[in-house]
């Protein structure tokens, strides 16, 4: 039998043992390293893509800017688009940056920065087989990136279309060229870049940025709720005059301005 003193000591030790996992989780959210891991899907030029074995692009520079302001070095982890948020939630990466837009479902588990880019969307198709309007897209096979705004929009706005979802836009382009799909729906800037590289393809803008509802909330950085990185701090960085100027320079550098 325990006496009163022994019982108290045992109770205290039990409480400490039970609290250890919580302390561990809290420590996991405290980044004492010199780096911040950023999850991205590097198949979306000019936002994120490979050049000579190195990931570059507009959003990559945004990530570097944020990390530099936080006093850290950005380390980019390339992964399939549809797995980035899962990696963010389980702590594999600290930030996600890959043309993400905020949705009510995503906002249940993640925080989003203020948008740093909002563009238009377009159909990409083979020359001689144009898909320029929603009406022309009706009943077509349309490829979109899995888990993206284009995928959600097509399913909602053109319900009789056959949606083919793929993780990799480069694979989608090859599928289009091979005739396995009628068109691809994606960001206009990305469409423009792929058409430059593939002269047999053309694109037509379908959604204009002026229509807020149609074009989503815009690209933003994503962090898990409860992260040591706070969205308020990221938004503060993005709103600094120096950062605003830098973002505009990057948009010009990566040909994102109209």
Of the pLDDT bands very low, low, confident and very high (cuts 50, 70, 90), residue 53 is very high
How many C-beta atoms surround the C-beta of residue 177 within 10 A?
13
- pLDDT tens, residue by residue, 213-239: 455 678 999 999 999 999 999 999 999
Q: Which domains does the chain have, with CATH numbers?
A: 35-118+217-253 (3.40.190.10), 121-207 (3.40.190.10)
pLDDT of residue 215: 55
- pLDDT tens, residue by residue, 122-149: 999 999 999 999 899 999 999 999 988 8
Residue 212 has pLDDT above 50, yes or no: no
Of the pLDDT bands very low, low, confident and very high (cuts 50, 70, 90), residue 258 is low
pLDDT of residue 167: 87
Q: What pTM was computed for the model?
A: 0.83
């Amino acid at each position: 039998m325990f006496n009163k003193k022994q019982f108290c000591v045992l109770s205290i030790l039990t409480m400490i043992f039970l609290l250890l996992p919580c302390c561990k989780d809290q420590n996991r959210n405290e980044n004492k390293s010199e780096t911040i891991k950023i999850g991205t899907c590097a198949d979306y030029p000019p936002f994120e893509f490979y050049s000579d074995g190195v990931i570059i692009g507009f959003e990559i520079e945004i990530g570097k800017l944020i990390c530099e302001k936080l006093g850290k070095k950005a380390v980019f982890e390339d992964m399939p688009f549809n797995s980035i948020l899962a990696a963010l939630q389980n702590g594999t990466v600290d930030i996600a940056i890959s043309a993400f837009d905020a949705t009510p479902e995503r906002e249940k588990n993640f925080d989003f920065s203020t948008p740093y880019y909002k563009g238009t969307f377009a159909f990409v198709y083979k020359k001689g087989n144009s898909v320029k309007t929603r009406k022309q897209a009706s009943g077509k096979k349309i490829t979109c990136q899995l888990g993206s705004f284009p995928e959600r929009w097509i399913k909602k706005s053109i319900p009789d279309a056959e949606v083919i979802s793929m993780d990799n836009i480069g694979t989608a382009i090859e599928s289009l060229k091979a005739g396995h799909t009628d068109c691809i729906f994606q960001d206009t800037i990305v469409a423009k870049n792929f058409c430059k590289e593939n002269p047999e393809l053309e694109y037509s803008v379908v959604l204009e940025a002026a229509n807020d509802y149609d074009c989503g909330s815009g690209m933003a950085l994503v962090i898990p709720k409860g992260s040591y990185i706070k969205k308020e701090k990221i938004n503060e960085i993005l709103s600094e005059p120096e950062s605003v100027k830098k973002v505009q320079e990057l948009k010009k550098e990566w040909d994102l301005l109209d």
